[in-house]
Structure 1
Amino acid sequence: MPELAFLRDLVVLFGASIVVVYGFNRLRLPAVVGFLVAGALLGPYGLDVVDDVARVEVFAEVGVVMLLFTIGVEFSLGQLRSLRTVAGAGLLQIGSAIVLSALASIAFGLPLNQGVFWGFLAAMSSTAVVLKMVTERGETNSPHGHLIIGILIVQDLAVVPMMVVTPVLGGLGEAGLLAVVWSVAKAALAVLLILVAAWYLVPRLLVEVVRSRSRELFVITIILVCLGIAWLSSLAGLSLALGAFIAGLIVSESEYSHQAMAEILPFRDSFNSLFFISIGMLLDLRILLAHPVLVMGLVVALVGGKMVTTAGAAVVTGYSWRAAVLTGIALAQIGEFSFILAKVGKSVGLLPGESFQVFLTVSVLTLLLTPFLLQASPRLARRAEALQRLRHWLPERQTDAHGIPSRHLRDHTIVAGYGVNGRNLAQVLRETEIPFVVVDVDGETVRREQKKGIPIVFGDITHPQVLRRLGIQDARALVLAISDPIATRRAVTVARQLSPAIHIIARTRYLREIEDLRVTGADQVVPEEFETSIEIFSLVLQHYRMPVRVIAEKAERIRREGYALFRKGQPGLKEIVAKEADDLYVDD
């Protein structure tokens, strides 16, 4: 029976994946690489254990859809509006990739239309792989995390005109530019209609579902919204993944977004693993053995070329070198949507002979390299910052902390980051007349707040020259209120080297990062996870009508003993909280 055969394939895939991923985990290698290797071993070009690869790819597509849906839920419309500043970098990255590919095709004597099409394929990056890795590293809200997500969204949007232009490049399109414009206009109109309808219907639907108090109905409704809007978007010529992202954005605006995220996560992780396995199945080692120089040369050219074009596009559009380099490294692979484009290109003669299989092999190898490149990206970014000496070749931008007040600051506080924490700190410092200066890498925020009279400048806090311009030698304190853990560690190191006496206060999200930051040179580390636990502790006691004095004493003792343990590098938060809870009924 075919159903039982497919069930056998799923059992084999998940069983082998557990073994391979467990082995990779013991070797401290990323799980994504384990899934890709498992797919290569079990696929048609490996041991040929799995019979129905096409059905596996269907489940894999569901995994990508759910991944993009959860990313959309984590976003908000306000965050999406802020990504419009990324559009220029995304368009420039895509355009430069196409131009470079076209020039390379002319240099090697290939037809220009094939060169342009290879540029289409090279311009796309892997939304599924990159977002999974960035999310796991806690960098989604960092400056380069926003840049990465923004460029990926632009790339997903660009798939629509590329799909329309590909038959024209292959000589099958007769209407030319008019057909392209008309198809894109139809797609845009369809998306607008889907957005308007969904924005009107989905919130009302969720309200009625929640009133039923049925968890099963809520889960089914969320899955329907995710898959349904993705399917409608595909009918409009957009990718399923982009439709799922739109669905997530719609749900993110409701008060039920957190529960929706919790319900969809198990499905996402299960199906997403099948996506990486299905990609691994495309790896044909025979092509690599038959054309080793060609394949490895293309891998080096694609990875290196994408690093340069992506980082260059980010720098030209005003981003710091560090954010640009980290983004270039993160997006230096071929994306899953390129596989769809490649199939269309093959059908119209743009990938003749073995070109299609060579492309698949090269693409999978770039995906295999991605986790290792991301692990090495902080070190590579620090070395690449030396290229800043070439910045005088570029248009003048505020990359070196321009806009510092003319008066010389002394005994002041440097605030890095102007999010919620930085904004509140700046307000208090201003009210208490303590001199301060804020530095941020969001140019739009800097321009807006400068008009309000806030002493804020544009600059990368990890760069020594920026810290010098901010007067770190004469500053009393440095507060790192940024959400990028890698940049925080780098900034602590550089600041301590430039000013051994300065008092450094660093924000971190997790307890596990405290010891690293203290060893690096931070005087005080404020872990959001720990402070949140104290706030929850206090609210629970308030609910039980405990005296305010008792609550304050208990909170202060937990904070004092907890931070003392952190300084010693000892775990013990749970024991402290439990002890305080017991003592409530003993102390006054």
Structure 2
Amino acid sequence: MAVGQNFILDLTTVLGASAVGGYIANRLRQPVLLGYLASGLVVGPFGFRLLREVDQIKPFAEIGVAFLLFALGVEFSLAELKRVKNIALNGSLLQMGLTISLVALLSTLVGWVDTPSQGIFLGAVLSLSSTAVVLKTLTERGETNTVHGQVMLAILIAQDLALGLMLAILPTLKNPANIGLALLTALLKVLVFLTVAFVAGRWLVPQVMKRIAETENSELFLLTVIALCLGVAFITAQLGLSIEMGAFVAGLMISEIDYADQALAKVLPLRDTFASMFFASIGMLIDPNILIQNFGIILGLVVVVMIGKAAIVLPIVLKFGYSFKTAVIASLGLNQIGEFSFVLALVGRQQGLIAQEQYLLLLGTTAITLLFTPVCLRFSPVLANKIINIPFLASYLRQFRDTKDLSIPEGFRDYVVVAGYGRVGQVVVNILQNQGHKVLVIDSSEAAIKRLRTENIPYIFGDADSELVLEKAHLDKAKALAIALPDPASTRLLLKRALELAPDLDVVARSHQNKEIDILTQLGAKEVVQPEFEAALEIGSHLLGTLGERPSIIYSLMEGMRSNRYQNIRVQSGTLNPELDIALNVPELQQQWMALASDSPLVGMTLATADIRKVTGVTVMAIQKGDEILHYPSAKTVLQVGDRLLAVGEPDELAAFQVLIQNQETIKEN
């Protein structure tokens, strides 16, 4: 009984600490992942010692990783896997091969290892990146279906496949004569497993899931999904391969059947619960004393590892035809040491390939690189844009951000540009074409472009937020722009750049989160659509009609909610703070408060009359009038002496706005 009570206490401690840590991180506008890591440090053996061993929650942590990869497999269909197969296979081999070779060479030369075998082992440890941390961060940011998200996940999945081979080869590093046999055995295991998995996924699993679904018993369906996920993961673990590989393949088995969405919905709560334990378990490995005593060494290792891995990944992604921006984001997203490097490091320590002191330094370095991953992914688009705009690099980098292909008829005009040809984009295009309207689609997916060619729809192949791509789209000849991109950052950047090229363009954008509605509207979108709210409005409309309300009343009510940015139905989380919202959610833009002097030409004008965005490119996000702050002000707001305006834009646009509010001739000319 005492053992059972201790088990429940350990479980409660980890989950409770993760909930508190996640809440604090969320309130600080940080990824909850950082809160989970911090909670593990606090309750672990190097914190308050509420849990003395990581092994106490290790089984739950492994289940969390299995559910993470299973959910990824369900969402990451075979069609999508084929789309990135080149970089998944060849690119990951290049990345791991170069990392192992360079680390082995450099560590041997500087004397950090005694033998080449130890150098190869160290290279293998550093070659892996974190599938769990990157996937969690991409999921939180809504970027799993973006080009850079797919590239990163493809490489990570290949690394997980390679982990089994590494574990098989590791014991032979002390006796290189047996390495060929070990590698052949591991490859044979992988081949046999994938063959059996393919057969089961094609003929057995769909039939089983169909029979279970026909019972209409949700509990039975959930149990079957869990058994499939953990069962396949267990098989790969017994074969000496990684549980991640098994869980991912299990997800792929049901990704193409009719019940995939239902299975995913059932697993998501379990995934998030157990994944929090996994990240807490990583936090428990961080020893503050080791970090403090070896701060300089670990800091140097972190810098070398993160810069070195990014420098290896960047040219590889470029080599496979992706844009410079995609390459920068992918390189900074994969520059950490993976959580399963812990597994390799532990086996290496047992094999005598790494000393205890080196092992502890490696643990500290790995944990810190994992902490930096969400930050790197958040600011990588900003860094990519700044590098692209460096004068002496711009001409060279142009080749990596230009359009790859385009198909636009001669004399094409009065069309609607649709950015993104996913599920939403395809529906929009179908609606427009069915009514006889011309469309031009922008997408960076090879699979999407193939469909567009087949359907004879005009397209541009490239990143929709690229200035060069937008120039090719000739927005001045378009009637409207519909933004249906899966990436929130690209949506904001595309909106701003499109209105710079065509200030009067009618833009409708899809919002991924509630907090983006005001930002996108203020940046110039004529209409911002939030899918969940739209579904609620349609359900409400139907119910009101059923209850006998007149159609005109229903229409007026729904349009009123839309025109008011859904304010009547959305719940505000805390106090509105545009300054903080911009800093955290639109890091690619700068912001500055500017005061209106008594002789400013803007005094007495409304925001609509001043047309500040069209004249200078900046957007006014807030206006302070005395002690009152108007957040996301409307176009009818009148500017008065003493008002302070929060302007957001590029540095040159902010400078132009400064000139505008001080120079009367400038406003008269416009």
What TM-score do you get using the length of structure 2 for normalisation? 0.77
Aligned equivalents of 2:321 and 2:426: distance in 1?
Answer: 23
1:478 pairs, out of 475, 478, 481, with 481
Displacement, 1:494?
A: 1.3
1:526-580 Cα deviation digits (max 9, x unpaired):
33223333444566689x6x99xx89656643442222211xx733379xxxxxx
Q: Residues of 1 paired with 2:325 and 2:538: CA distance?
A: 35
| 1:78 equivalent in structure 2 | 79
CA deviation string 1:140-160 (max 9, x = no partner): 222222222222211111212
C-alpha displacement of 1:180: 0.6
1: CA distance, partners of 2:397 / 2:376: 27
Which is worse superposed, 532-541 or 90-99?
532-541
- Contact 1:114–1:351, Cα closer than 8 Å, also in 2: yes
Aligned pairs (5 A) from 1:515-554: 515-537=518-540, 553=552
The superposition leaves residues 5-36 of structure 1 with CA deviations (integer Å, 9 ceiling, x where unpaired) of: 33333333334334443333333333222221
Given that 1:191 and 1:233 are in contact with CA atoms closer than 8 Å, whether structure 2 keeps it comes out as no
The equivalent of 1:336 in structure 2 is 339
What residue is the counterpart of 1:194 in the other structure?
A: 197
CA-to-partner distance for each residue in 1:59-79, whole Å, 9 max, x for gaps? Answer: 211111112222223333333
1:564 maps onto 2:568 in alignment:
no
SS across alignment from 1:414: strand
For 1:476, what is the secondary structure of its paired residue? strand
Shift of 1:230: 0.9
Conservation of the 8 A alpha-carbon contact between 2:54 and 2:285: no
CA contact (8 A) 2:10 2:56 kept: no
Distance in 1 separating the partners of 2:295 and 2:56: 31
Contact 1:330/1:373 (8 A) holds in 2: yes
Per-residue CA deviation, residues 435-465 of structure 1 (Å, 9 max, x unaligned), is 5432211235335634654322222221222
Q: In structure 1, what residue type is equivalent to 2:497?
A: V
SS of equivalent to 1:318: coil
TM-score, reference length from structure 1: 0.87
Q: Is the 8 A contact 1:90 1:154 kept in 2?
A: yes
Whether the aligned pair in 2 keeps the contact of 1:316 and 1:394 (CA below 8 Å) is no
SS of corresponding position for 2:177: coil
Aligned to 2:374: 371
Instruction: Give the equivalent residue in structure 2 for 1:123.
Output: 127
Between 1:455-464 and 1:205-214, the stretch displaced more is 205-214
Q: Structure 1 unaligned runs (5+)?
A: 575-588
Match of 2:340, SS state, is helix
Deviation at 1:173, TM superposition (A): 4.7
Shift of 1:198: 5.1
Structure 1: distance between partners of 2:497 and 2:425: 20
In 1: Cα distance, 2:49 partner to 2:512 partner = 45
Instruction: Using the TM superposition, name which of 191-200 and 29-38 deviates more.
Output: 191-200
Give distance in 2, aligned partners of 1:67 and 1:136: 13
**Is 1:246 the equivalent of 2:245?**
no
Residue 491 of structure 1: CA displacement? 0.5
Shift of 1:139: 1.6
Q: Read off the aligned partner of 2:103 and give its amino acid letter.
A: S
1:112 is aligned to 2:108: no
User: Matched residues in 2 for 1:216 and 1:407: separation?
Assistant: 58
Asked whether 1:145 is paired with 2:149, we answer yes
Aligned to 2:93: 91
> Are 2:516 and 1:499 equivalent residues in the alignment?
no
Contact 1:125–1:336 (CA under 8 A) maintained in structure 2:
yes
Identity value in percent? 37
> Are the equivalent residues in 2 in contact too, given 1:318–1:399 (CA < 8 A)?
no
Structure 1 distance, partners of 2:551, 2:100, is 62
Question: Using the alignment, how far apart are the partners of 2:443 and 2:495 within structure 1?
Answer: 16
Whether contact under 8 Å (2:84, 2:150) holds in the other structure is yes
- State how 1:218-367 maps to structure 2 within 5 Å: 218-367=221-370
Whether the 8 Å contact between 1:16 and 1:38 is mirrored in structure 2 is: yes
Residues 103 and 424 of structure 1: CA distance in aligned 2, closer, same or farther (over 3 Å): same
Residue type of the partner of 1:41?
A: V
Residue of structure 1 equivalent to 2:166: 162
Question: What code does the residue aligned with 2:382 have?
Answer: R
Partner of 1:457: 460
Aligned to 2:444: 441
Residues 554/563 of structure 1: CA separation in 2 closer, same or farther (3 Å cut): same
Alpha-carbon offset, residue 90 of structure 1: 3.1
Question: CA offset at residue 361 of structure 1?
Answer: 0.7
Match of 1:132 in 2: 136
Q: Which has the higher contact order (CA 8 A, sep 6+)?
A: 1
d(CA) in 2 for partners of 1:378, 1:397: 15
Structure 1 residues 114 and 509, CA, compared in 2 at 3 Å: closer, same or farther? same
Point out the structure with the larger helix share. 1
Question: Does residue 1:184 correspond to 2:160, yes or no?
Answer: no
CA contact (8 A) 1:40 1:46 kept: yes
CA shift for structure 1 position 359:
0.6
The offset of 1:392, in angstroms, is 6.9
The code of the aligned residue for 1:76 comes to S
Structure 2 Cα separation of the partners of residues 16 and 428 of structure 1: 49
> What letter is aligned with 2:148?
H
Task: Identify the match of residue 103 of structure 2 among 101, 104, 122.
Answer: 101
Whether 1:5 and 2:2 are equivalent positions in the alignment is no
Find the aligned partners of 2:262 and 2:316 in 1 and give their Cα distance: 38
Q: What is the CA–CA distance in structure 1 between the aligned matches of 2:512 and 2:124, rounded to whole Å?
A: 38
Structure 1: distance between partners of 2:550 and 2:167: 62
Compared with structure 1, are the counterparts of its residues 72 and 536 closer, same or farther at alpha carbon in structure 2 (3 Å cutoff)? Answer: farther
**Contact residue 66 and residue 264 of structure 1 kept, 8 A:** yes
| TM-fit CA distance, 1:272 | 1.5
Q: Distance in 2 between matches of 1:552 and 1:315?
A: 55
Q: Give 3-state SS (helix, strand or coil) of 1:46's partner.
A: coil
Instruction: Specify the SS of the correspondent of 1:437.
Output: strand
Which stretch shows the higher mean deviation, 39-48 or 119-128?
Answer: 39-48
Partner of 2:595: none
Distance change (3 Å), C-alpha of 1:539 and 1:228 = farther
Tell me the amino acid that sits aligned with residue 37 of structure 1: A
Q: Distance in 1 between matches of 2:452 and 2:214?
A: 43
Structure 1 residues 454 and 199: alpha-carbon distance in aligned structure 2, compared to 1, 3 A threshold: closer
Classify the secondary structure of the residue corresponding to 1:336. Answer: coil
How many residue pairs were aligned? 567
How far is 1:426 from its partner?
Answer: 4.4
Unmatched runs of 5 consecutive residues or more in structure 2: 572-670
1:386 aligns with 2:385: no
1:148-175 per-position Cα deviation (integer Å, ceiling 9, x unaligned): 222221111121222223223x323532
Matched with 1:586 is none
Q: 1:356 to 1:455 in 2, by over 3 A?
A: same
CA distance in 2, matches of 1:251, 1:197: 10
